Chain A
Amino acid sequence: MKLAVLALLITAASAFTGVAPAAKPSTQLNAADSRRAFLTSAAGAAAAVVGAAPAFAIRDYEGLGYLGGGSQVDVNNANVRAYLKMPGMYPAVAGKIVSNGPYSSVGDIYNIAGLTSREKDVLKKYESKFVALKPSADYVIDRINNGLYR
Chain B
Amino acid sequence: MKFLLVATILATCDAFSPVAPSFFVTSKVMTRQTYTLDGIEGDLSGSPITFSEKEGIDYAATTVQMPGGERVPFLFTVKNLVAKGNGPAFKPGFQMGGAFKTPSYRTGLFLDPKGRGGTTGYDMAVALPGLQSGVNGDDDLFLENNKTFDITDGKIEFEVNKVNNEEQEIGGVFVATQLSDTDMGSKVPKKILTKGIFYARVD
A residues with CB within 8 A of B: 2, 5-6, 8-9, 11-12, 15-16, 18, 34-36, 39, 54-57, 59, 61, 99, 137-139, 141-142, 146-148
Min CB gap B170→A, angstroms: 27
Q: Which residue of A lies closest to B182 (CB)?
A: A12
The docked-state distance in angstroms from the alpha carbon of A88 to that of B30 is: 45
Whether the pair A138, B108 counts as a contact (CB closer than 8 A) is yes
Q: Are A57 and B16 in contact (CB under 8 A)?
A: no
Taking CB atoms, residues of chain A closer than 8 Å to B23 are none
| Nearest-neighbor residue (CB-CB) of B99 within chain A | A18
Does B188 sit within 8 A of A, measured CB to CB?
yes
Chain A interface helix/strand/loop/mixed: helix
In angstroms, Cα B76 to Cα A95, docked, is 26
> Are A34 and B123 CB-contacts (below 8 A) given A8-B188, A12-B189, A142-B107?
no
A residues in contact with B118, CB < 8 Å? 57, 138
Give the interface of B toward A (CB within 8 A). Answer: 15-16, 55, 103-104, 107-109, 118-119, 123, 137, 139-140, 142-143, 145-153, 182, 185, 188-189
**In the complex, which residues of chain B have a beta carbon less than 8 angstroms from the beta carbon of A142?**
107-109
B107: chain A residues within 8 A (beta carbon): 138, 141-142, 146-147
- Asked whether, in the complex, the Cβ of A137 is within 8 Å of the Cβ of B143, the reply is no
- The answer on a CB contact under 8 Å between A55 and B148 is yes
CB pair A146–B109 under 8 Å, yes or no, is yes
Question: Out of B109, B185, B188, which one reaches A147, CB within 8 Å?
Answer: B109
Closest to A17 in B: B153
Across the A-B interface, give the 7 residue pairs with the lowest CB-CB distance, nearest first: A138-B108, A138-B149, A35-B139, A57-B146, A55-B148, A57-B147, A8-B188
